[in-house]
């Protein structure tokens, strides 16, 4: 490929940003400014992004989950300070966005919502699915979570299971540590990570056993 370069105005920055964190901040700035200046709207960009949202998997979150399943000490650290623990695996977000991980247990099931917007832990869960932003999901999960999970997501939880709905906000991003499914004994961390779904980390699903 040949390029010809005539004298061009100085770029906004002279250097290539080198970290995902830096680039993500620049993209947020780009979107925020272009929306402010009326050159685009969040909805319009959303519509395009949603076409490809499946392509961005929650691979980082899945790695953290797999590590927590296989390393009890790591799991303890994760539950105490998720932001620090994720940094151990090289996963981090923007400063000021702390993560808190809530653990599913045999009789406790957690799910996350954001009732005011579509904030979502980008570093671990990837892009928000469209339905996460809809009033139908958000408002109803507060009022009737058990019904929503059963009717919309096919997740039927026993009545004896306590449901906890966490409001994820700009400052504190919650996400769910799902339970390790049966039939996974002896699997490597990598194999385990490939089982973990985004829905299970939001709490509208569970991690299915392998081969299901």
Per CB under 8 A, which of residues 106..125 are in contact with other proteins? 107-108, 113, 115-117, 119, 122
Distance CA 133, CA 190 (A): 30
Q: Which of 4, 119, 188, 200 is catalytic?
A: 119
Which residues inside 170-199 make contact with other proteins, applying CB under 8 A? 170-172, 174
Token pair, residue 123, equals: 């570093």
Q: By CB under 8 A, which span of 1-9, 70-78, 187-195, 199-207 interacts with other proteins?
A: 1-9
Closer residue to other proteins in complex, CB, 46/189: 46
> Judged by CB under 8 A, does residue 72 bind other proteins?
no
* Binding footprint of other proteins, residue count (CB under 8 A): 78
Of the candidates 84, 87, 88, 94, which one interacts with other proteins according to CB under 8 A? Answer: 94
Kindly write out the interface string for residues 132-161 of this chain, putting x where it contacts other proteins by CB under 8 A and - elsewhere. ---------xxx-xx----------xxxxx
86 is catalytic: no
Active site positions, annotated: 114, 117-119
């Amino acid at each position: 490929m040949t390029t010809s370069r005539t004298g061009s105005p100085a770029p906004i920055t002279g250097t290539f940003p080198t970290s995902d964190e830096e680039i993500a901040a620049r993209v947020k700035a780009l979107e925020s400014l272009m929306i402010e200046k009326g050159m685009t709207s969040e909805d319009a960009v959303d519509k395009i992004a949603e076409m490809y949202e499946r392509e961005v998997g929650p691979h980082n979150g899945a790695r953290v989950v797999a590590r927590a399943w296989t390393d009890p000490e790591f799991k303890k650290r994760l539950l105490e300070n998720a932001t620090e623990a994720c940094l151990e695996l090289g996963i981090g977000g923007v400063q000021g966005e702390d993560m808190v991980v809530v653990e599913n247990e045999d009789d406790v099931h957690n799910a996350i919502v954001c009732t005011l917007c579509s904030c979502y832990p980008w570093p671990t869960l990837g892009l928000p699915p469209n339905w996460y932003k809809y009033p139908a999901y958000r408002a109803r999960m507060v009022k009737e979570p058990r019904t929503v999970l059963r009717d919309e997501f096919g997740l039927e939880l026993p009545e004896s299971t306590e449901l906890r709905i966490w409001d994820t906000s700009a400052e504190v991003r919650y996400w769910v540590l799902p339970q390790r499914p049966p039939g996974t004994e002896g699997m490597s961390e990598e194999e385990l990570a490939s089982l973990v779904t985004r829905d299970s980390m939001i709490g509208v699903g569970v991690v299915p056993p392998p081969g299901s």
